[in-house]
Amino acid sequence: MFIQHKELKSLQVPAEKITHLHAATSRVQLAFAGYQPQLCQAYLLQISGESKVLTLVAFYLSDSDRSIFFVPSVGELPLAEADTVYEEGYSFAESMGFVLSETDFHIFPLQKKKEYWAALPICQLDNNVRPVSSTVSADKDVEMLRLRSRKSLGRFLASM
């Protein structure tokens, strides 16, 4: 299960840490809480640390010029277990109407990886972050999973 990581606004991760990257072949009209319905781009990626891997599903909202990130409720995992969660992320993005395609990012030379990665909208710093208001209160179980995932993501990113 993937849950929204509301504090994460952009990915400031070195390109060398990205081991897999899929991107949607076209944009899809979606509506996220706090935003008007709009065309969105989807990305599925794996970020590798020393001994663990984190899978992320990212959506770039074209009109709002914002990114929304979803992380697995289990957080980062050992490499041996990461493929299963990556497949779940693939299914999650496809369930929203996206067709994901391999970018061949993993075989690019390092300089091309850096250029490609830096150009993605999900990596752009957002200087105009607006608070997202939501009238939906989260169920306790989902909130606990969200908190655990946030702590896990923080530890993972800090270890890089």
Would you place residue 80 in the very low, low, confident or very high pLDDT band (cuts 50, 70, 90)? confident
- pLDDT one-digit tens code per residue, 96-130: 999 999 999 989 999 999 999 999 999 987 544 43
Domain span holding position 32? 2-158
Spell out the residues 6+ positions from residue 106 whose beta carbon is closer than 8 angstroms to its own: 18, 19, 20, 21
Taking the CB of residue 127, how many other CB atoms lie within 10 A of it?
6
List the beta bridge partners of residue 43. 23, 58
- The number of folded domains in the chain is 1
What is the pTM (predicted TM-score) of this model?
0.77
Residue 52, H or E segment:
strand 52-61
Pick from 79, 74, 95: nearest CA to 24: 95
Question: Which residue type is seen at 104?
Answer: D
Cβ atoms 33, 61 nearer than 8 A: no
Spell out the residues 6+ positions from residue 141 whose beta carbon is closer than 8 angstroms to its own: none
Average pLDDT over residues 73-85: 89
